[in-house]
Amino acid sequence: MQIHISKNHEELSDFTAQYLVDFIKNKPNATLVLTSGDTPKLAYQKMAVLGKDLDFSQVTFIGLDEWIGIPPESEGSCRYIVEENLLKPLQIPSQNYTFFDGLSDNLASECTRIDQLIFEKGGLDLIIVGIGLNGHIGLNEPHSSFENYCHVSDLEEITISVGQKYFTQATPLTQGITVGLKHLLEAQIAILLASGSKKADIIKRTITEEISEVLPSTVFQKHHNALLFLDEEAAIYTK
């Protein structure tokens, strides 16, 4: 596990954006899973500027997760954050990206659809994820199996309450659909992005606790090429 610490959120976002642009420059047909959330927003905005002349025609972007029952156009959907901050500004054609449909009446086939896409592409070149206060990765909540590919999960109370920040009004959330930790373990590169003092404790636990499905983020200790991109506040207990 390699840790890169940036001074603050702004510099973390600069570093992440540059990393992703360079990655695609070096592998123009890359398949990437992209996280949603507040943490990557600024990095995506910066990537949209840095990557404006980059050829994305062979790149495949896959959304990490989605809330079940939330329409894609909702500003709280996971898709919305990635589309608005990255894909639309870069004018990425819709055939180059896909997201879970949280409104699907056949969630099992949604999982199969994304699994098959990842397998057809020969696996993921890169996955970038955030971290929840309970150590969730995507919507792989505590006790999610490291052996799961895409799956549906029941959300913990903390995820439901913290998740309200993405919505303009109180929104019932109960389940999520997510790329599973087995895809993460099989990805060539796995990046964990965390910013701010509220993430400091869970980052410490991620690095120091025994690898266990009880704390999904400890999967990063198992990954052969794991990168933690942190700012100083999130990294305070790692030094």
Q: 6, 31, 39, 218: which one contacts ligand PGA (CB under 6 A)?
A: 39
The smaller minimum CB distance to ligand PGA, of residues 34 and 131, is found at 131
Residue in the structure block whose two tokens are 């990490």: 64
- Least Å distance, CB 108 to ligand PGA, is 24
Q: Which of 84, 96, 134, 186 is catalytic?
A: 134
Contact 8, 234 (CB under 8 A): no
Instruction: Please report whether residue 153 would count as binding ligand PGA according to CB under 6 A.
Output: no
Active site residue 134: yes
Q: 126, 131, 150, 155: which one contacts ligand PGA (CB under 6 A)?
A: 131
Q: 10, 11, 22, 38: which one contacts ligand PGA (CB under 6 A)?
A: 38
Active site residue 65: yes
In angstroms, the CA 177 to CA 183 distance is 14
Nearest residue to ligand PGA, using CB?
37
In angstroms, the CA 86 to CA 47 distance is 7
Q: Which of 9, 110, 136, 232 is catalytic?
A: 136
Q: 102, 132, 176, 216: which one contacts ligand PGA (CB under 6 A)?
A: 132
C-alpha separations of 113 from 44, 110, 127, 135, 195 in Å: 25, 5, 18, 26, 32
Instruction: Please report whether residue 190 would count as binding ligand PGA according to CB under 6 A.
Output: no
In angstroms, the CA 31 to CA 27 distance is 9
Q: 51, 63, 76, 130: which one contacts ligand PGA (CB under 6 A)?
A: 130
Q: Which stretch binds ligand PGA (CB under 6 A): 2-10, 34-42, 211-219, 223-231?
A: 34-42
In angstroms, the CA 90 to CA 167 distance is 25
CA angle 60, 5, 194 (to 5 degrees): 55
Residues found near ligand PGA in the complex (CB under 6 A): 37-39, 130-132
Active site residues per annotation: 65, 134, 136, 141
